[in-house]
Amino acid sequence: MSQGSGDSGSLVFLAALLAALGLSPVLAIHVYTQREVYGTVGSHVTLSCSFWSSEWISEDISITWHFQAEGSRDSISIFHYAKGQPYIDDVGTFKERMEWVGNPHRKDGSIVIHNLDYTDNGTFTCDVKNPPDIVGKSSQVTLYVLEKVPTRYGVVLGSIIGGALLLVIVVVALVYLIRYCWLRRQAALQRRLSAMEKGKLQRSAKDASKRGRQVVMTIEMELRGEAAEAAGLPPAAKSPSKTSLKNALMNMIKMDSEK
């Protein structure tokens, strides 16, 4: 009993001492990367790596990148950041093609790989330690390097597509122009036909009015002649006979029917 009481007292004393010193249990650090990244031969690609730590960024923070080639079981260290300085490892083919673009104070451990090649296909692992926050799992991103399309093929393809689009635009513009001209001509013809019909009606009305006046004058003359004969007075002018009057009326009716 006394030994158990002594052990319990020691644990309590140790816990109190840690609390007095301000020490707390170590929390896990979290590292994040993309799952997959794609690039073309000869281009460059950014391998992003961010992290979260419960501690302030210390001067002892370290960031390490490893590379495992496609189809290989071995992983090599290609980059290391420590004591505020980036170091590119001499092992592998990334020495002259790698660039550090991260900033630990912004919780960024990203790198850039230039002049990509097929041999860069594989898995990259980012690992971050921020003492005392050193427990955590690294994160992996897989890089796929694809064949680059020759520039001349792209230029030719772009020219073909551009020419086809231009041809379509020209054809559509011509169709609209022809349709506009045709509609305008139809409208002009319609106006001309309307004017002709209106003029024809006006001429017909004038002719009818003129013939009506002639008939009225002829009838008046005939009536004056008959009135003069009834009174026994000599007519002032020779009036047309009834036969000639009838013939004149028949001729006028015939002319109207022919028109």
- Statement: residue 67 has pLDDT above 90: yes
- 3-class DSSP state for residue 112? strand
- 3-class DSSP state for residue 143? strand
Around 222, how many Cα atoms within 13 Å sit in the side-chain half-sphere?
14
The answer to whether 51 and 129 are in contact (CB under 8 A) is no
- Statement: residue 158 has pLDDT above 60: yes
Would you place residue 247 in the very low, low, confident or very high pLDDT band (cuts 50, 70, 90)?
Answer: low
Whether this model's pTM surpasses 0.85: no
Q: pLDDT for 93-108, tens place per residue?
A: 898 899 999 999 999 9
Of 115, 128, 152, 150, which Cα lies nearest the Cα of 58? Answer: 128
Identify residue 124 by its one-letter amino acid code: F
Q: pLDDT for 188-221, tens place per residue?
A: 888 888 888 777 777 776 666 666 666 667 666 6
- Take residue 193 and report the two structure tokens written for it: 């036909």
Which residue's structure tokens are 């024809």?
Answer: 200
Residue 242 is predicted with a pLDDT of: 57
Cα(124)–Cα(76) distance, integer angstroms: 10
Strands of 139-146's sheet in order across: 36-40, 139-146, 122-129, 62-69, 76-82, 85-88
- Take residue 85 and report the two structure tokens written for it: 């300085």
Comparison of pLDDT for 244 and 49, the residue scoring more: 49
Q: Across the chain, what does the average pLDDT equal? A: 79
